[in-house]
A and B are shown apart, each in its own frame.
Chain A
């Protein structure tokens, strides 16, 4: 059973460009979470999605950030008009939903904004 897949693993963007981060959850998992890890810090929750629904986006910045989890295909975290402060590691986790709280993490996407 393949784990949570994220791509790309490394992404470099210039200020003002768009960044698209993809996450494919584990097979059978219908819950996806995105977290951001700034250098030397812990992970901060951004958004929680189920198929075609955003359940909790309380950790998402109000501007430039959006997330989706379509019926088919991976979950996408989109950052528009990136700034240097967006440089971080972005981790996706998935959960089957039946087992409370246990989340399985992907390897992360390391975004660098030049």
Chain B
């Protein structure tokens, strides 16, 4: 079955540091890949997505590239801010072009703490 593996947290960085959160997956076919962010006490917000190999998703300075050869979708940001402190979830969905929605499989989440 499908599975997602994320790097363990927490990750603690100083403001303006470079961020990488690793994510690898196991799936059949060509899944869609997502990063969601969860701020304290809130639900999940979609941060970015990629639906086919070599696609790069980007939003708010965050980027992730769909690497089929390494089955990875690592999240990066060049300069983090205190406001980026949150839990980040990598997720995998069904293949694109199915025309139907399907359930998401989530990693366990990585907590990011950014300090001044």
Interface residues of A (CB under 8 A from B): 4, 6, 31, 33, 35, 41-45, 48, 56, 59, 91, 93, 95, 97-108
Contact = CB atoms under 8 A, between A and B. Distances in A.
Chain B: number of interface residues, binned into ranges: 20 to 34
A43 B103 contact: no
Nearest to A9: B41
Contacts of B103: 33, 45, 48, 56, 59
A29 B51 CA distance: 21
B99 A102 contact: no
Nearest to B93: A101
Given A31-B101, A56-B103, A104 B93 contact: no
Contacts of B109: 41-42
Contacts of B108: 41-42
Given A48-B102, A97-B101, A107-B43, A102 B49 contact: yes
Interface in B57-116: 89, 93-94, 96-109
Given A42-B89, A42-B106, A44-B106, A100 B101 contact: yes
B107 A42 contact: yes
Contacts of A107: 42-43
